[in-house]
Amino acid sequence: MNLLKEPITDQDLILKLIPQRAPIVMVDSLLYFEESKVISGLTVTEDNMFVQNGFLTEPGLIEHIAQTVALYTGYHFYINNIPAPEGYIGAIKSVTIEKLPKVNMQIETEVEILQEIMGVTLVQGTTTLNGEVIVTAQMKTVLKN
Amino acid sequence: MNKEVIIEKINDFLIDEFEVEAEDLSPEANLKEALELDSLDFVDLVVAVEANFGVKLVGEDFINILTLQDFYDLIENKLS
């Protein structure tokens, strides 16, 4: 069940939920949130630092998934009135990238939280473009102490 | 599930998931050293335990776990 009353698209609020700052902000909306699942959105802009030749490149897609995890954690902290924690990607495996989105396209990423223990979060991320799955990845993210 | 079955099942998934040799899995072996676990690997251990036994471990469960025998006992206690 979606715990959001409505999607969060206010950029000032998004920046409160994640520790990243420009030019490395790779989520622009929080579309869905529940206890073990989150969906983020990103519209690919020309000035995105991961865009090359009009396409969002592979590192940008991976970073987008990682920041979706940050958004999940940050929103958890936010509703408890605690600042968003810093974290980093600990490991990535089983990555499949089928297509690179073009500039001006909007992608959505669903992250399912598979396990959380000792500050390590294991997630399954799925990125879609117009409903088509373009990226799947399993990732471990780590909260900075 | 008796203790022998639990130990056999644990050893089976440790060999598969963590690519260790069966002879390295002695009860007195240090869990972290035998499996070459780093901080990121514990989550894999938790996933494997949940998949094989339907038991969810939390960080506190590992506080007093030093040896494989401790780990066997932990799972046995969780199942009982």
pLDDT of residue A73: 92
Q: How far apart are the C-alpha atoms of A84 and A78, rounded to whole Å? A: 7
pLDDT of residue A51: 98
pTM: 0.86
Q: Suggest the residue from B38, B40, B41, B58 to mutate for an interface test with chain A (most A CBs closer than 10 A).
A: B40
From first to last of its 145 residues, chain A has per-residue pLDDT tens of: 899 999 999 999 999 999 889 999 999 999 999 999 999 999 999 999 999 999 999 999 999 999 999 999 999 999 999 887 888 899 998 999 999 999 999 999 999 999 999 889 999 999 999 999 999 999 999 988 6
Q: Residue B30's domain is classified under what CATH number?
A: 1.10.1200.10
B51 touches A: beta carbon within 8 Å = no
Range of the domain at B69: 3-79
The CATH H-level (homologous superfamily) assignment of domain A11-143 is Hotdog Thioesterase (3.10.129.10)
- Interface residues on A facing B, Cβ-Cβ cutoff 8 A: 90-91, 114-122, 140, 142
Residue A133 pairs in a beta bridge with A128
Q: Which residues of B touch A115 (CB under 8 A)?
A: 43, 46-47, 50
Number of domain units in chain B: 1
Task: Identify the residue whose tokens are 């046995």.
Answer: B76
> What averages of pLDDT result for each successive group of 10 residues across chain B (80 residues)?
92 93 93 92 94 94 95 95
Q: How far apart are the C-alpha atoms of B77 and B73, rounded to whole Å? A: 6
pLDDT of residue A139: 96
Helices B42-53 and B68-79 cross at an angle (nearest 10°) of 40
Domain locations along chain A: 11-143
